[in-house]
Structure 1
């Protein structure tokens, strides 16, 4: 894989809005996220033209959004890129990405949710990309989240201590308090204690593979397009999926998984990781777990690969960073998930 240069204190990070124009609508929470990147992570921030652009201008100009990404990779003074927030149609920017320039100048690029489109596509072309928090969702809330979260961000982005063993956070939340209420700006909704960590639904032996995935609903946008992975790509992958605030039902998630089975993907991969499903009741989580196993193991016979659920990434917080293209180890015996290699060169 093509890896970016490691970040450090003082690295210049460009902020882009490749999807929704929420910084335009909620500037205070956006600015708090910028401040946290500066104060807590020591990063220097550069705002690209799309960062605060209006929702209508962004929607009507997918090429402008792609141009921002292209310019970030062209500019030698920029060390990395973080999205302001997600959205729902960044798939429209893919035709305008200058992939030759991007791959020739690899850089740290991180987002989640709708960023799944270009993170997975660039990874398929050979570059490590990062599934993790955005400025407004995950970084603006740093002071309200457990201190272990900031330690995790620094460990992945700045340190060179690999292999790195992921740890579950002691508490988590489904979302944030109203962004228009300045008195509670950056605060989270009710926290839930995480006493058991994540769960291995199946698996009896250790497996190693290369991370790839994102928001399972967003991945539906690229299926059967030229931006979907070729058949040979799926060998030795560990897929990770999470669900959005739209809250697809357990059965709808099952429909999406069945498509992967029909492509023969479950016979090639080494494991599956599911993020904690946002806003699901305990009953709905149990039903989702049942459907996941029923389809992957029952319908498509993949009974020997580990399946993990309730992993700390995606649309709940705190969010762990998952680097697409890097090798991880899933150990059902010790219940460990280990990032075996550095995502940076």
Structure 2
């Protein structure tokens, strides 16, 4: 695995909009996210040409979005890259990415949701990438999220203390207050106490593997393309999935998982981590858990690998940062998720 260089206060972070142009529509929440990166993390910000483009411009020009990423990896002055927000069709930028430049200049790159496309693709090619908060969703809200969230971000990005044990946050929320209301800018919707943390719904062993995954619906866009992994890539992987604000039903998630089973993937991997499903009721979560056990364990016979659900990452907040290609330990016996070694060089 090509590992990026570790970030530090003063690192120059490029901001890109590879999916949707929401900074153009909601500039105040975007500016708040930039301020937090500067004042709370100590980063220097470089805005790429796509960062504030309109949604229409970005939609019509996937090459421009890819060119920003290419330029970020080519520019020695840029230390890392963070997406402004997600979207729905960044898969269209993949043909325009200069993978030779990118793989020869590994750098920190982070996003979530629709960023799954290039994060997963770059990792398939051999570079560690980072599934975590974006400028407008997760970083702009830092002052209003539970104690420990900002320290988690700093621990992963700025410190070098490994193994790193993930811990459930004390509270969580399904989303944010209106971005057009300056009186509540950066605030979150109702918080829920995280009394039970995450839950292992299958397995009784401790497994070690390399993390790979993202938004389960976005990964569907990549299947049967040349950007989708195959063969031995799946060996010793721990898959992590989460659902978007579009809220696929538990049954629809089962359809998606069944395709992994038909590819033989569940026989190759070491475990599955499922993020807290956004806007799901208690009953819907129970149905999802049953489908996970049924499809993975019963239909495809992978009934001994650990499966853990309601983990703090993805479209609810606060969000863990999970490195694609990071070495994880998943223990059903102790209930632990541990990042065993640094994802940085």
> What TM-score comes out, normalization by structure 2 length?
1.00
Aligned to 1:179: 179
Aligned counterparts of 2:138 and 2:249: Cα–Cα separation in 1: 24
Aligned to 1:323: 323
Aligned counterparts of 1:331 and 1:230: Cα–Cα separation in 2: 26
Question: 2:69 is paired with a residue of what secondary structure?
Answer: helix
User: Which runs of structure 1 show a deviation greater than 3 angstroms over 4 or more consecutive aligned residues?
Assistant: none
Aligned to 2:294: 294
Q: Show CA shifts across 1:246-291 (max 9, x none).
A: 0000000000000000000000000000000000000000000000
Aligned to 1:275: 275
Aligned counterparts of 2:225 and 2:331: Cα–Cα separation in 1: 34
Q: Show CA shifts across 1:277-332 (max 9, x none).
A: 00000000000000010000010000110000000000000000000001100111
Aligned to 1:138: 138
Aligned counterparts of 2:96 and 2:201: Cα–Cα separation in 1: 40
Aligned to 1:198: 198
Question: 1:274 is paired with a residue of what secondary structure?
Answer: strand
Aligned counterparts of 2:178 and 2:266: Cα–Cα separation in 1: 40
Aligned to 1:241: 241
Aligned to 2:9: 9
CA RMSD of aligned residues (A): 0.4
Q: Show CA shifts across 1:179-198 (max 9, x none).
A: 01111000000000000110
Aligned counterparts of 2:332 and 2:257: Cα–Cα separation in 1: 22
Aligned counterparts of 1:127 and 1:344: Cα–Cα separation in 2: 11
1:77 to partner: Cα distance:
0.4
Aligned counterparts of 1:277 and 1:303: Cα–Cα separation in 2: 22
Aligned counterparts of 1:203 and 1:160: Cα–Cα separation in 2: 31
Aligned to 1:149: 149
1:113 to partner: Cα distance:
0.1
Listed as ranges, the matches of 1:30-179 within 5 Å are 30-179=30-179
Aligned to 1:311: 311
Listed as ranges, the matches of 1:204-223 within 5 Å are 204-223=204-223
1:147 to partner: Cα distance:
2.4
Q: Show CA shifts across 1:150-195 (max 9, x none).
A: 0000000011100100000000000000001111000000000000
Aligned counterparts of 1:147 and 1:308: Cα–Cα separation in 2: 24
Question: 2:59 is paired with a residue of what secondary structure?
Answer: helix
> What TM-score comes out, normalization by structure 1 length?
1.00
* Aligned length, in residue pairs: 345
Question: 2:148 is paired with a residue of what secondary structure?
Answer: helix
Question: 2:24 is paired with a residue of what secondary structure?
Answer: helix
Question: 1:147 is paired with a residue of what secondary structure?
Answer: coil
Stretches of structure 1 lacking an aligned partner (at least 5 in a row): none
1:231 to partner: Cα distance:
1.5
Question: 1:204 is paired with a residue of what secondary structure?
Answer: coil
Aligned counterparts of 2:239 and 2:10: Cα–Cα separation in 1: 33
Question: 1:32 is paired with a residue of what secondary structure?
Answer: helix
1:91 to partner: Cα distance:
0.1
Aligned counterparts of 1:332 and 1:253: Cα–Cα separation in 2: 23
